[in-house]
A and B are shown apart, each in its own frame.
Chain A
Amino acid sequence: MEDVTQITDRAQRLYVELVCRKEEAEGHPAIAPEAEAQAIKNGGSFAERILLRAVSLPDAEHSMIQVQQVLRTGRQVLVGALLIAAFLGVAAASSALQGAGSVSLPMILLTLIGVNLASLVLWLMFQLLGRRSGGLIRSIWQKLSARFVDRANIPKGQYRFDLASVAELTTGRGGRWRLGVMTHAVWLAYTFAGLLSLTVLLVVSRYELSWQTTLLSPEGLHAWADKMSYAPRLLGAAGPDVLPLNGELSAEHRQGWAIWMLLAVVSYSLLPRLIALVLCWILAAREQAGWARDLSRPGFARLRARLMPDHSAVSVIDADESDTPSANFPDKGLAVELPESGLFAVFLERAGEERDADLTWLDPVEDAASLQKAVEEIQAGRPSGLLVFIAATATPDRGTVRVLARLVQPADVPVWLVLTALPQLKARGAPAFDTRVADWSATAQRAGVQGGVIAWDDRRLLEPVPEAMQQ
């Protein structure tokens, strides 16, 4: 069993990537308040918090160990493949040099260059076919993993980090470059081991080298050998222009062709593989660096509000200990009987400007002085009733209750609260209208306004809608 403290950075980043994939597939991030609190507590960048959250998830240790095991197994498989390839390279070189009589140079080239070069071209073709080859690998992998899940009795829907790791490493981001690295490394091991064996054998034994061919004419063979000599010449070897292709070869010529052959293997087999390996390595590393760093992906972006909160928790620091005022809605009829004459009217808080000629208007009440003046005028005037006009859009408050109560007290006559600006209130929607009318009714009642709340245009009593019906 792996030790969780031995989890490598690479395994950790792969694990975070897989957590993101899992949560994207599930449609939402896992609910993990403790892991998130831990990430917030430790602070750092968003990427660091994502990592810390992932490794603090309840099952993280087990999952990370699964990922680590996959990576370790992958390394072991690669090392095994490299050893086998190296052994095959040695065997290929040895068998190519064996045989009665002379050793065929074309055969050695075919063994150590031809096969390697052909597989390299095949690999390049796969790259040309782009991601469609990835689709093939993916579908093969999906079938294999489905079979594995069936055989291993793994419950459907259970997320296996080990299986997901393999899928990600092979078919995920940079998967084809990782496969490329493995492929090239194996071929490189084969070629290098073959080249080394060839060199050692050529050093310790004497071989009769020859350009044996059955099908090619001497001219054709010369032309082919000349073309093949292009790269070895660049590395300092002599070609068919200096060395003979036919007849008995002298010791010097044998040495010349042996050097030519070794340099041909280096230039046509070893170097292309090495270049391909380095390129794949760079591309794989670049793609791998993207693991868990593409923070605009939905799987990560959805965590931003949780891990980078805009605000702290809310705390109540001065609690409400008073009783909430409750409105009691009286059951009233719709028609309002107003006295035909002697009615006083007053605007509260600039409720309007149009003054009905049938009414006796007091100065608008806005502040303590105007309120006192209105009270005095009501006491002196002895009206048959009092109409207090206020804008329905204003919010009824304790201040309004107090002012209304001051006006009602000395009047000793029926008082009505008249709402203006009703069309504006209606424009805010029926629920807002009903709520506000109910609030004004409650305000009127608290202030002792006996007549109730009315709409002035049609002298209609505005019946409050009980709160239960407003829901």
Chain B
Amino acid sequence: MSSKSIISLAVVGHTNTGKTSLLRTLTRDQKFGEVSDRPSTTREVSAVSLLADSVPVMTLFDTPGLEDPMGLMELLEADQNTYEDPVARIDAFLATDHGAGSFEQEAKVLRQLRKSDAALYVIDAREPMLAKHREELRLLAECGRPLMPVLNFVASPESHPEQWREGLARMGLHVLADFDTVVFEHEAERSLFAKLEILLDAHKPAIQSLARFRDAQRALLVEAACRTIADMLIDVAGLRVRVEAEGDLSVQSQQIEEVVCKSEQTCVDDLLTLFQFDLGAFAPPELPLEQGQWALDPFDPEALKVFGVRTGSAIAAGATAGVSVDAMLGGASLGAGALLGAGAGTVWSFYQSFGKRWVDELRGYRELSVEEQTLALLSARQIALLHALLRRGHASTSAVEAKASRGWVSKNLREAVMRARAHPDWSALNSGDRGPRPDQALVPLMAALRAAING
């Protein structure tokens, strides 16, 4: 794509309305610019391009906030010269010293808008529409570029988007987008691009390609996140730790707890990496993720209560009894069992299911595995986290809020996890092989997770 066809959009608005936040969320970069609940945080114009398959499609210009539109209008109206049109008046202002430097910030905004194809006018929908906003819109309209208002913080109970819509309609601005930079909605982003297509008809194919790319990325992101969770659940469900039968169970339980906690933490890290969040930089949230870590470990009865899971011992001794013959045969292929006919497979299965356990017991060992309620908790927590991450804008600086579900999220999920529990051979924690988990483990679990996320 040639540089000529790259859309340039100025992101403008009153100070502290979330212009940089909008860019953070659109770029999925929580380190973009500086964000604070104060005026004049952004004092320079920065450019960043949105890419589709590494090709720049749209360059967004983050601008300083407008702070004194009424003062600037007074200055412009005091100018005795006559101009061909309002745009010429703005150009004349930009050619001067900007009111002896008093309106330097405003000049930056207007200069950038004059060079851009259009502007997104970011509004803090929690504030009422005031005369200064109307003056700003008049000033920006004088730049001769299409303007699309973007209502930010619409998810806040303090917001009053209807008042803004009415006010903006009175000013002739009917095409506007709701886009909360903190509570992210993929649909809202898609709608923002669709409305930009109306505003920038000549760039419609480029905007559509960007929207398609983002849809595809989103779908892949969800898929990868489900896979991350599925891998962890398969590993933990099938985990077996062989310990001496005479040993102290509480000490032995710690071994398995450590492995499970580490596994879950790896899963959380992977999810945060996938979504490009760095929670370490944030203030500790209340519940349940602190500095990228769960506040309560999955063996803590309190954590189980929080997620509505029946409390009890989180360790099952001798769990290999749960390994069933049919599950064992599920791993066979080519219909070889029918060829054998003599029941050798059944004998082997029986040994694996029960005999091995008896042999271990005779030799003075027992096997520990993770109990169902802990698996339910792990599933619920990861799904809650994924839900939260899917709705988290990169401008958000608050805690991750994961809404606790009650027990198993679905019957299918329980079945898929419990099937993995019957298969220690599927768990990478037992074999050390970090290769792809078998399809018979992944397919039902992924389907259940997708349903839980979309449900």
B381 located at the interface, meaning its Cβ lies under 8 Å from any Cβ of chain A in the complex: no
Residues of the A chain whose Cβ atoms lie less than 8 Å from the Cβ of B49: 311-312
With A301-B227, A310-B51, A399-B71 as known contacts, state yes or no: A318 contacts B38, CB within 8 Å. no
> Quick check: A439 and B228 within 8 Å, CB to CB?
no
B224 located at the interface, meaning its Cβ lies under 8 Å from any Cβ of chain A in the complex: yes
B306-347 CB mask vs A (1 if < 8 Å, else 0) is 000000000000000000000011011110110110001100
With A21-B434, A129-B348 as known contacts, state yes or no: A308 contacts B54, CB within 8 Å. yes
Interface size, chain A (Cβ < 8 Å):
72
> Quick check: B53 and A301 within 8 Å, CB to CB?
no
Residues of the B chain whose Cβ atoms lie less than 8 Å from the Cβ of A324: 40, 43
Cα–Cα distance between A317 and B49 once the two chains are bound (Å): 13
B112 located at the interface, meaning its Cβ lies under 8 Å from any Cβ of chain A in the complex: yes
Cα–Cα distance between A309 and B223 once the two chains are bound (Å): 18
Residues of the B chain whose Cβ atoms lie less than 8 Å from the Cβ of A130: 328-329, 331-333, 425
Within 79-134 of A, Cβ neighbours of B (below 8 Å) are at 121, 124-125, 127-132, 134
A297 located at the interface, meaning its Cβ lies under 8 Å from any Cβ of chain B in the complex: yes
> Quick check: A395 and B27 within 8 Å, CB to CB?
no
Cα–Cα distance between A138 and B274 once the two chains are bound (Å): 31
Find B111's partner among A294, A296, A318 (CB 8 Å cutoff).
Answer: A318
A215 located at the interface, meaning its Cβ lies under 8 Å from any Cβ of chain B in the complex: no
A227-246 CB mask vs B (1 if < 8 Å, else 0) is 00000000000000000000
Residues of the A chain whose Cβ atoms lie less than 8 Å from the Cβ of B79: none
With A320-B44, A402-B68 as known contacts, state yes or no: A124 contacts B112, CB within 8 Å. no
* CB-CB nearest in chain B for A134: B425
A424 located at the interface, meaning its Cβ lies under 8 Å from any Cβ of chain B in the complex: yes
* CB-CB nearest in chain A for B275: A305
With A172-B433, A317-B46 as known contacts, state yes or no: A298 contacts B132, CB within 8 Å. no
> Quick check: B101 and A322 within 8 Å, CB to CB?
yes
Task: State which of B123-131, B359-367, B372-380, B414-422 sits at the interface with chain A.
Answer: B123-131
> Quick check: B127 and A310 within 8 Å, CB to CB?
no
Cα–Cα distance between A398 and B333 once the two chains are bound (Å): 75
Cα–Cα distance between A309 and B28 once the two chains are bound (Å): 9
A173 located at the interface, meaning its Cβ lies under 8 Å from any Cβ of chain B in the complex: yes
Within 287-329 of A, Cβ neighbours of B (below 8 Å) are at 290, 294-298, 301-302, 304-305, 308-320, 322, 324-325
> Quick check: B340 and A128 within 8 Å, CB to CB?
yes
With A304-B224, A310-B51, A315-B46 as known contacts, state yes or no: A397 contacts B434, CB within 8 Å. no
A24 located at the interface, meaning its Cβ lies under 8 Å from any Cβ of chain B in the complex: yes
B91 located at the interface, meaning its Cβ lies under 8 Å from any Cβ of chain A in the complex: no
B43-75 CB mask vs A (1 if < 8 Å, else 0) is 111111111011010000100110111110110
B266 located at the interface, meaning its Cβ lies under 8 Å from any Cβ of chain A in the complex: yes
> Quick check: B224 and A320 within 8 Å, CB to CB?
no
With A129-B348, A173-B435 as known contacts, state yes or no: A310 contacts B29, CB within 8 Å. yes
Cα–Cα distance between A397 and B33 once the two chains are bound (Å): 20
> Quick check: A397 and B45 within 8 Å, CB to CB?
no
> Quick check: B266 and A27 within 8 Å, CB to CB?
yes
> Quick check: B131 and A128 within 8 Å, CB to CB?
no
Cα–Cα distance between A350 and B27 once the two chains are bound (Å): 35
**Interface footprint category on B:** 35 or more
* CB-CB nearest in chain A for B225: A301
Residues of the A chain whose Cβ atoms lie less than 8 Å from the Cβ of B431: 135, 138
Residues of the B chain whose Cβ atoms lie less than 8 Å from the Cβ of A28: 269, 273
Q: How many contacts between A and B, using CB within 8 angstroms?
A: 212
With A127-B336, A296-B223 as known contacts, state yes or no: A301 contacts B274, CB within 8 Å. yes
Cα–Cα distance between A163 and B332 once the two chains are bound (Å): 28
Cα–Cα distance between A171 and B433 once the two chains are bound (Å): 9
> Quick check: A310 and B70 within 8 Å, CB to CB?
no
With A130-B332, A135-B425, A171-B433 as known contacts, state yes or no: A399 contacts B70, CB within 8 Å. yes
> Quick check: A296 and B44 within 8 Å, CB to CB?
no
For the complex formed, measure the closest distance between the CB of A434 and the CB atoms of chain B, giving whole angstroms: 11
Cα–Cα distance between A301 and B231 once the two chains are bound (Å): 13
> Quick check: B50 and A311 within 8 Å, CB to CB?
yes
> Quick check: A316 and B54 within 8 Å, CB to CB?
no
Within 275-290 of A, Cβ neighbours of B (below 8 Å) are at 279, 290
* CB-CB nearest in chain B for A365: B131
For the complex formed, measure the closest distance between the CB of B344 and the CB atoms of chain A, giving whole angstroms: 6
For the complex formed, measure the closest distance between the CB of B375 and the CB atoms of chain A, giving whole angstroms: 20
B246 located at the interface, meaning its Cβ lies under 8 Å from any Cβ of chain A in the complex: no
B171 located at the interface, meaning its Cβ lies under 8 Å from any Cβ of chain A in the complex: no
Cα–Cα distance between A311 and B221 once the two chains are bound (Å): 16
Which 8 interchain pairs have the tightest Cβ spacing? A130-B331, A301-B224, A318-B45, A320-B43, A399-B68, A397-B67, A311-B27, A395-B16
7 further A-B pairs in the complex, CB-CB below 8 A; given A43-B53, A310-B214: A121-B339, A132-B348, A134-B425, A305-B273, A310-B29, A402-B68, A436-B38
Residues in chain B within 8 A of chain A (CB atoms): 14-16, 26-29, 32-33, 36-40, 43-51, 53-54, 56, 61, 64-65, 67-71, 73-74, 101-102, 104-105, 108, 111-112, 126-128, 130-132, 135, 158, 214, 217, 220-221, 223-224, 226-228, 231, 266, 269-270, 273-274, 276, 328-329, 331-334, 336-337, 339-340, 344-345, 348, 352, 425-426, 431-436, 438
Q: What are 16 A-B pairs at a CB distance below 8 A?
A: A124-B334, A124-B340, A128-B329, A135-B425, A295-B220, A301-B228, A302-B274, A310-B29, A350-B128, A350-B130, A395-B39, A397-B68, A398-B71, A399-B67, A424-B158, A436-B38
